[in-house]
């Protein structure tokens, strides 16, 4: 009888420890997925659908693999590639489908985790476009990112400005990009967020220079089998739009590969 009691006690302690460890890993992963410069391999698919009463829809699927590289005990290099697959209208009628400008961001960040983490480095824009779907120019942008995380909150931003250095001389490049994000973890993997993307083509006329949306969304960290996935839905209203779009519907699915 005593052996059975001891065995049951050890099993219960083991299950409790495993459950607590699993919960801790889940919380750490839930925090990492909100940090664009976390040391985490991931494969995001982000779909943005722009709609408006005076325009035909434009759909952009961004494939965004992220791969961290340990440079030293103190420094990590976070690489993020954005491959945009675009389907947009041609005026007066028809559509054009193809690849937009592929961007490769490289952020050097401290390897040691803390409540506030930052990263800096160059971002490269490649003239991989189908005609009319981007800039026919090779560009480089100084880039910076800052992220603060505490008590279930994540607040941060990315800022870049691209300058053309080679390519079509008739297609100058001076393009600003910024994303501000605020996330609040709720429970059991659920969260609410706002992550608008602001852009400005400094060479465009004033009425078509800025794209500035405001909105919010929600998402959840879950699993498909043993593979962690993060899915997200968002809705944004354009305050300014270079394409005269009124709204953006964003859907995102991220496959995660924690070490």
* Region 115-125 average pLDDT: 96
The contacts of residue 29 (CB under 8 Å, 6+ apart) are 40, 221, 228, 256, 258
The H or E element containing residue 251 is strand 247-257
Q: How confident is the model at residue 16 (pLDDT cuts 50, 70, 90)?
A: very low
Higher pLDDT, 130 or 177: 177
**DSSP calls for 41-70:** EEEEEEEEEEEETTEEEEEEEEE--EEEEE
Q: What does the pLDDT read at residue 34?
A: 94
Which residues on adjacent β-strands are paired with residue 156? 147, 181
* Region 184-200 average pLDDT: 95
Please tell me the distance from the alpha carbon of residue 178 to that of residue 176, in angstroms, as a whole number.
7
Query: Which runs of E-coded beta strand occur in 111-152?
Result: 116-126, 137-150
Helix extents (H) in 85-152: none
CA distances from 97 to 65, 165, 191 (A): 21, 26, 34
Q: What does the pLDDT read at residue 161?
A: 97
The contacts of residue 21 (CB under 8 Å, 6+ apart) are none
Please tell me the distance from the alpha carbon of residue 126 to that of residue 108, in angstroms, as a whole number.
21
Which residues on adjacent β-strands are paired with residue 42? 66, 256
Checking if the pLDDT of 125 tops 90, the result is yes
Q: How confident is the model at residue 128 (pLDDT cuts 50, 70, 90)?
A: confident
- Judge whether 48 and 60 are in contact, CB under 8 Å: yes
Please tell me the distance from the alpha carbon of residue 83 to that of residue 224, in angstroms, as a whole number.
24
- Judge whether 113 and 123 are in contact, CB under 8 Å: no
Q: What does the pLDDT read at residue 244?
A: 86
Domains of the chain, first to last:
33-257 (2.40.160.40)
Q: How confident is the model at residue 94 (pLDDT cuts 50, 70, 90)?
A: confident
* Per-residue pLDDT tens digits for 195-252: 999 999 999 887 789 999 999 999 999 999 999 999 999 999 999 998 889 999 999 9
Convert 211-232 to b/e letters by CB count within 10 Å (16 or more is b): bbbebebebebeeeeeebbbeb
- Judge whether 141 and 125 are in contact, CB under 8 Å: yes
> Where is average pLDDT lowest: 57-66, 100-109, 131-140?
131-140
- Judge whether 96 and 90 are in contact, CB under 8 Å: yes
The pTM is what? Answer: 0.86
Nearest to 184 by CA among 26, 30, 29: 30
- Judge whether 198 and 178 are in contact, CB under 8 Å: yes
């Amino acid at each position: 009888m005593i052996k059975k009691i001891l065995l049951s006690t050890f099993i219960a302690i083991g299950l409790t420890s495993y459950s607590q460890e699993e919960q801790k890993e889940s919380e750490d992963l839930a925090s990492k997925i909100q940090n664009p410069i976390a040391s985490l391999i991931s494969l995001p698919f982000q779909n943005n659908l722009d709609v408006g009463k005076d325009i035909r829809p434009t759909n952009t699927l961004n494939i965004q693999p992220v791969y961290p590289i340990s440079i030293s005990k103190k420094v990590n290099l976070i690489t993020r590639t954005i491959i945009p697959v675009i389907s947009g209208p041609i005026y007066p009628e028809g559509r054009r489908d193809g690849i937009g400008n592929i961007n490769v961001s490289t952020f050097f960040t401290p390897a040691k985790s803390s409540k506030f983490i930052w990263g800096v480095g160059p971002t490269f824009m490649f003239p991989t476009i189908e005609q009319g779907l981007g800039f026919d120019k090779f560009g480089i942008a100084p880039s910076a990112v800052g992220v603060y995380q505490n008590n279930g909150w994540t607040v941060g931003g990315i800022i870049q400005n691209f300058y053309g250095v080679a390519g079509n001389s008739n297609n100058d490049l001076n393009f600003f990009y910024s994303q501000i994000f605020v996330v609040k973890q709720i429970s059991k993997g659920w969260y609410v967020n706002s992550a608008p993307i602001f852009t400005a083509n400094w060479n465009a006329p004033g009425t078509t220079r800025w794209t500035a949306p405001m909105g919010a969304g929600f998402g959840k960290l879950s699993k498909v089998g043993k593979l962690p996935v993060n899915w997200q839905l968002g809705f944004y209203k354009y305050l300014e739009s270079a394409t005269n779009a009124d709204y953006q519907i964003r859907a995102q699915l991220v496959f995660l590969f924690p070490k």
